[in-house]
Structures are given as structure tokens and as C-alpha cells.
Amino acid sequence: MKKIISSALLLLSISLFGQNISGLETRSFFNTTSPFAKYVRSTYVYKTIPLLDHQHLVISSLDGSRLRTKGSLSSYQLEALPENPEGPYLYFFSDQWFNVNVDTLIAGSIHNVAITSISGVLLEERDLTSHATDTTITVRVFNPDPLTPNNLSYGSIYTDLNDGNGSVLDSLSILDDISVEVLNDTVYLRNDYIEVIDFDPPYYPISRDPGTWKASRADTEFEQVMVVYHVTKQNEYLHSLGYLNLLNYAIHVDPHALNGQDNSLFNYGFNPPRLFFGEGGVDDAEDADVIIHELGHAISHAAAPNSNSGTQRSSFDEALGDYLAERYGRIRGIYSSRVFDWDGNNTFWDGRSVSYDGIKNYNTVVFAGIYQHTDLMSSAMLEFSDANGVVDSIADKVVLEALYQLMPFETFRSIANGFISADSLITGGQNYGAIVAAFGPPKNILQPSDTQEHIQTDLPNLTYNNGRYTFRSSTLGAYYEIVVYSMSGQILEIYSNVADQKLSTTVPAILRATDSDGKITVLKML
């Protein structure tokens, strides 16, 4: 066990939900720039005591103009802050703040954190892993797997047979080229994006012989080559979209790990972070869906580090990995209604759907776990990328850009609004309608624009006087983030943490008001 120690960084006074919170400050810990915006991410400190999990985000244009701010603290949590915190950390648990100690354990694939009250009571224990000179060398791989490109189903002669079915499955592989590193006449399975390392059992030597990189899938070299090939191709695609600095390190990968378990994971507790691929059932590293899914966790962490807290936020990370895996195939003309088409054919599990079932409604589903409703979000993202009039590479940019805005404890609805924000930044809102169509009814991740008058007194409203609109909160102590869109979806105005606000827009527009709990109200300005 070792104590988590926060770096001493610049402290800034802040105001949240219209309240000046005495003693509440922020510490910037992560600054990054995407092709379209700058992002400054901070943690909170209250009377010198760090608040666990919660973050503050400032989004600015590339020229430095502030566009938007986000915070994960609710008004209730702010009001509940103790007058005299003791620390060493403050943790919100079971509707109250606790003074806690925080211990971490990083060993092999394990990355756990234990949160304990100062009286010694264990409040929570978390698993922080996420569950997937150059020369050109020709390699043999499945792309993305042996079945889907060939319109085959698992069974009959097309089975794993514990890696023993090379005579059949090798014919379903391809030969392609990748760039790897040469040092002192030795060729290594590494490049700017990845390095294969044997850091977890079972232990197999890492191949240094390119002559074996076209070997049968029954050989241990096959999985080693698979991870290098697909991690490289995905990174090259990110670079083609302009995201050169998103994964700015060579991730360490063990394609034969976890003592043969049917599991794979991403662990950011190492420097650089690591990917572990198990071998239970079908070897996980034989399926590009698994490889790209797990790399998706690394992509999410790179854009919004330490933000994966809360059930829906964690569920989105799983949905994101599924989306990226399926998009990876579709870019190559290979479509499926599920992910893990090769790995998900065993007694352990049968893969996961990325197709909307026509039934699930975000307004009524209950999130009992992080994997239960991934299809709701992944199917919406895929429908957006496939929509008429949407350039699929632009859709991928929208998804990637929205990752920089992710915050702890975000809901699916809040994240979907981040797609609207990202599209406004990238295209000026050209894809607003497609996003609303994909995430709106019947999924209802996004609510449709309200065509009825708001008569409920507990909802915010608009007043009109002397040619100007004024937004007004109808609930005492309620504060909102306001975004005003043109009828074509372009962002016109943004206000954060306001209760009453005069608006500048005089043309027909749509106003979306989001309160601290993520509840959205849509108002027409006609």
C-alpha cells in the first residue's frame, strides 16, 4: 500500500451554481489541446483538503476564448461540505462527506484503491482497471477476426479448438505490412504506438524473428503480432483524424496474460499504461474487437484522466470501447450487430450487442451494473455515424472531441449533450439533427425539443420584454448551464451557473438549460 499524494499546483478561487463557496478552490492537474479546443482539468480543494473523485473543467477555443465550464459537484454536495474538515481527504458517500484515508495497490494487473474513514471503517474498495529506426514487416493476422469478413458463423469446422484449428482458420487470415523498430540488427515488436512485453503469466518469449510473424494462429507469435498490428492501425486512424497527441506514448501490451483467464483489461497505474489479454476460451488477442475495445479505455483515459467514476460514466466507457471496435470493422467494410464476434463464442459468454433492440428507453432503464445498457449508448453512436448526410470520419471526430469533456458521475444524457457541443465546435452544428435523431426517441437519451408550453411552475421559463428574452429559474437555489442554438444547431450563447440571465439572441433559436443534476429543459425562442 502507498499513500496517494496530490501535486502542489496553482490554486484558484471559484464560484459554483451562483454561490461563492468560501475555502473551495481548484488545482489544475491536466492540460491538453485537441485539434479544435483547449481543455484545463482540475481537482477541488476545500479548506486545503482535497475532494476525492470530483473535477472542474474549463473549455476554451484555440485562440484562448472561454467556451464552457463543467463541474461534477452538485449543489447538494456543496451545501453539505463540513465547516471544519479534517482530511486528509474528503469523500462523498451515502449522502454525506467523510474524512478519509486513501491507499492504492498496484501490482501486475491489479490496480486497487481503498477508501477508509479516519476511524478505520472501509467505505469502498475499487478496481481501477478497465476491462481490452523503422522497418516494414509482413505479418499474418485476422482482420478483424476469422468469421465476420467471410460471412461465417462460429461452429462446425470454424471453431477455436484450443488454438489447434490452424489448418482451417489460417486460410481466413490476411497478410499485411506494419512498421516496427530495428535496433542493432534486431527487429522488435514495438513502434511509436506499442511495445509487446511479457510482464504477466503465462510467460512466453517475445519474438524477435520476423520469419515467425507469418506463422499459424496456433503459434504464440500470432497473438503478439495481432496486438501490434491492430493497435498500430487504430493509432494511425486517430492520427489521420488530427488527434496526434491523444495517445502520445507506446502502450505496453502482454498478449498472453492473466494466467489464462477469459478476461482482458487496461491498467493506467503503470507508466506507461498497460493492456493485459487473457487466453480463456478463444484467446482475447485473436479478436481485434477485444484489442480495440481495451485500447478504447486508454483513449478515454488519455482525453479525460481519472474521470471514470459513477455507474453511467463507467458504462459509457464500455460502450465507447464497443463503438470503437465496431467502427474499426466498418471502416474496413465489415459490419456486425455485436462485438467480440470471435472471442464471444464460448461457454464463458457470447459477446455484446451494439444494435438497438427497439425497446430500451433511457427514461425507464435502471443501471444495476456498467455492462447492462451499453447497447443503448453504443447503438446510438453507431446510428449517428451511419446517418444520411453524416461523414463517418466527422462522427468519429465528434465522439473523440466529446471525450475531452467527460466528467466524473456524468449521465448518458449529459454525455450525449457533449456530442452536440463537440459537433458545434467541429462543424458549427451541422450534425445537430442527426445527433438528436440517433440519441432521441425511442431511446430517449436526449429529450426531443418540447412543442408544448411549459406550464409547470418548477421548470425554468423564458420571459419576453422590449425585444429581449430573459431566462428565469422557477426554483429557489436552482442554477443552470444554458446553451442557445440556432435552428440549424450552431451554438450562439453559453452561460454557466446562472439562475436568471438576459439573452443576446434575437433570432429564432432553441435554448437548452441543464441543472446541476443533469436534468434538461428545452425552450423555444421564436
Task: Tell whether the model's pLDDT for residue 468 goes beyond 90.
Answer: no
Task: Tell whether the model's pLDDT for residue 104 goes beyond 50.
Answer: yes
pLDDT of residue 464: 75
In one-letter notation, the amino acid at residue 31 is N
Note whether residue 263 is domain-resident. Answer: yes
Residues 185-206: tens digit of each pLDDT = 899 999 999 999 999 999 999 9
Range of the domain at 472: 461-525
The number of domains in the chain is 3
Residues 400-441: tens digit of each pLDDT = 999 999 999 999 999 999 999 999 999 988 999 999 999 999
Q: Which of 124, 157, 191 represents a domain boundary (last residue)?
A: 124
Task: Tell whether the model's pLDDT for residue 66 goes beyond 90.
Answer: no
Task: Kindly state whether residues 399 and 478 are assigned to the same domain.
Answer: no
Strand order in the sheet with 461-465: 461-465, 468-472, 500-502
How many Å apart are CA 146 and CA 168, to the nearest integer? 10
Q: What is 415-469 written as a DSSP string? A: HHHHHHHHHHHHHSSTTHHHHHHHHSTTT-SSPPPP-S----TTS-EEEEETTEE
Task: Tell whether the model's pLDDT for residue 458 goes beyond 60.
Answer: no
Task: Tell whether the model's pLDDT for residue 15 goes beyond 90.
Answer: no
Per-residue CA distances from 402 to 6, 343, 348, 406, 419 (Å): 27, 29, 33, 7, 5
State the CB neighbour count (10 A cutoff) for residue 446. Answer: 24
Task: Kindly state whether residues 417 and 362 are assigned to the same domain.
Answer: yes
Task: Tell whether the model's pLDDT for residue 107 goes beyond 70.
Answer: yes
Task: Kindly state whether residues 421 and 279 are assigned to the same domain.
Answer: yes
Q: What is 173-193 written as a DSSP string? A: -EEEEEEEEEETTEEESB-SS
Task: Kindly state whether residues 69 and 180 are assigned to the same domain.
Answer: no
How many Å apart are CA 216 and CA 164, to the nearest integer? 10
Task: Kindly state whether residues 217 and 80 are assigned to the same domain.
Answer: no
In the chain the first and final C-alpha atoms are separated, in Å, by: 60
Q: What is the CATH number of the domain that holds 274?
A: 3.10.170.10
Task: Kindly state whether residues 364 and 244 are assigned to the same domain.
Answer: yes
Task: Kindly state whether residues 285 and 179 are assigned to the same domain.
Answer: yes
According to DSSP, residue 470 is labeled E
Residue 106 pLDDT level (bands cut at 50, 70, 90): confident
Residues 445-456: tens digit of each pLDDT = 998 642 232 233
Task: Kindly state whether residues 94 and 187 are assigned to the same domain.
Answer: no
pLDDT of residue 6: 31
pLDDT of residue 133: 57
Longest dimension (CA), the chain: 80
Burial of 197 (0-12, 13-18, 19+ CB in 10 A): middle
Helix residue spans in 186-273 (DSSP H): 220-240
Nearest to 302 by CA among 246, 253, 250: 246
On whether the pTM is more than 0.75, the answer is: yes
How many Å apart are CA 374 and CA 357, to the nearest integer? 12
Residues 328-378: tens digit of each pLDDT = 999 999 999 999 999 988 777 778 999 999 999 999 999 999 999 999 999
Q: Tell which wins on pLDDT, 450 or 393.
A: 393
Task: Kindly state whether residues 164 and 303 are assigned to the same domain.
Answer: yes
Task: Kindly state whether residues 394 and 487 are assigned to the same domain.
Answer: no
Percent share of the chain, pLDDT over 90? 66
- In residues, how long is the chain? 526
Task: Kindly state whether residues 266 and 300 are assigned to the same domain.
Answer: yes
Per-residue CA distances from 234 to 35, 229, 241 (Å): 18, 9, 11
Note whether residue 453 is domain-resident. Answer: no
Q: Tell which wins on pLDDT, 278 or 474.
A: 278
Task: Kindly state whether residues 275 and 414 are assigned to the same domain.
Answer: yes
Average pLDDT, the chain: 88
Residue 325 pLDDT level (bands cut at 50, 70, 90): very high
pLDDT of residue 134: 66
